[in-house]
Structure 1
Amino acid sequence: MTAAHTEHAGHTHAHGEGCGHVAVPHGDHVDYVHEGHLHRAHDGHYDECEADAHVPHQGHEHAHGEGCGHVAVPHGDHVDYLHDGHRHAVHGDHYDDH
């Protein structure tokens, strides 16, 4: 999956271990939950880490929600859940892989 390169302008906070934001492992890097969205360090600035395509997670039998045992990550107007190294978001009758 690829992500759009959208720079988060004016971001002065340095994310990293102990910075106070939830770290979300994501492939070959770590995203940080900040102000309801995800940031990724990139060439001296931070990008908004957003999927640029609709990617359904096939064969997902688990129902995410309060008390499901997975970390809830506020993300814009919804909540993603960390599961097996990626984020799942409810989308209609299935989950999307973020």
Structure 2
Amino acid sequence: MTTAHAVHADHDHIHGPGCGHESFHHGDHVDYVHDGHLHREHEGHFDECEPAAHVEHTAAHDHVHGEGCGHAAIPHGDHVDYLHDGHRHAVHDGHYDEH
């Protein structure tokens, strides 16, 4: 999945193991959930980790995400993403997107 390069300015917190923020593997890097944003380390700074395009989760998915579903909920812009089996899912038009 391609991500846009959007530097998160004025970010003085250093993310890493034990930093206190939820983290998960995302492709070739680790995302950190911080104040409703997803941050990734990139060349000495942190980027907002955002998908560059709409990518539908096409694998069988009979689980319904929502409050109390058992998966970590991450506020993300105007919606909530759910961490599920190493993927970040968002409800979109009757299906789930990969974020």
Q: TM-score, normalised by structure 1?
A: 0.94
Which one has the bigger strand percentage?
1
Equivalence for 1:80: 81
1:60 counterpart letter in structure 2: H
Regions of 4+ moved over 3 Å: none
Equivalence for 2:12: 12
1:72 counterpart letter in structure 2: A
Q: May I ask how many residue pairs the two structures share in their alignment?
A: 98
State the shift of 1:62 in Å.
1.2
CA RMSD of aligned residues (A): 1.0
Q: Which runs of 5+ in 1 are unaligned?
A: none
State the shift of 1:78 in Å.
1.2
Within 2, Cα distance between the matches of 1:74 and 1:21?
13
Written as runs of structure 1 = structure 2, the 5 A alignment for 1:25-36 is 25-36=25-36
Within 2, Cα distance between the matches of 1:4 and 1:61?
30
**What's the % identity of the aligned pairs?**
72
Within 2, Cα distance between the matches of 1:80 and 1:88?
5
Within 1, Cα distance between the matches of 2:94 and 2:20?
34
2:96 counterpart letter in structure 1: Y
Equivalence for 1:54: 54
